[in-house]
Amino acid sequence: MNLSISTSDQMLHGKFRDRLDSDAVIREMMAAVHTAKHGGVQTIGVNAEDGSRTGDVFLTEFALAAKDAGADRVSYCDPIGGDTPGRISERFAKLASMIAMPVEAHCHNDLGLAVANSVAGALGDLDAGQDAWINTCVNGIGERSGNAGLLSCVLALT
């Protein structure tokens, strides 16, 4: 199961209209993970929605709280498709090293970089000694502009 909550300042202001601050986001996420675990969910990923625009300090705090709550991985979401392969690889390697668990790539294809960003993120995970997870789509079907294509990711990693 993947649980999702917005993490960037832009989303806290625009989506939540400042009704939630970073502390409240962490409390909500941890409560959701605990509820899912008590409900029998075996594997939980926690989505840092808009992780690409979330500051490093809060992203790490969020990920560590997710791990403490019982999550198995943290998903780094780039919902605007504006990240770059170099940046995402560095962020994944740093985050995965600091939290000692996988960071899942959830990249949108607004600028045609979903596959490149997803593969770069996965390689950052592997560099940090963690498993790699990539959200993909089939035949271009995904959210809004699409996510990384399954076949393209498999071929790029092969």
What is residue 48's predicted lDDT score, i.e. its pLDDT? Answer: 98
User: Percent of the chain having pLDDT more than 70?
Assistant: 100
The end-to-end CA distance of the chain, in Å, is 27
Positive or negative CA dihedral for 100, 124, 90, 45? Answer: negative
What is residue 145's predicted lDDT score, i.e. its pLDDT? Answer: 72
What pLDDT band is residue 140 in, cutting at 50, 70 and 90? Answer: confident
Mean pLDDT of 118-130: 97
Q: Give 80 or 5, the one with higher predicted confidence.
A: 5
Mean pLDDT of 82-88: 95
What pLDDT band is residue 151 in, cutting at 50, 70 and 90? Answer: very high
> What does pTM read for this prediction?
0.94
* pLDDT at residue 141 greater than cutoff 80: no
CATH class, range 2-157: alpha beta
Q: Please, is 29 exposed, middle or buried when counting C-beta atoms within 10 Å of its C-beta (0-12, 13-18, 19+)?
A: buried
What is residue 154's predicted lDDT score, i.e. its pLDDT? Answer: 96
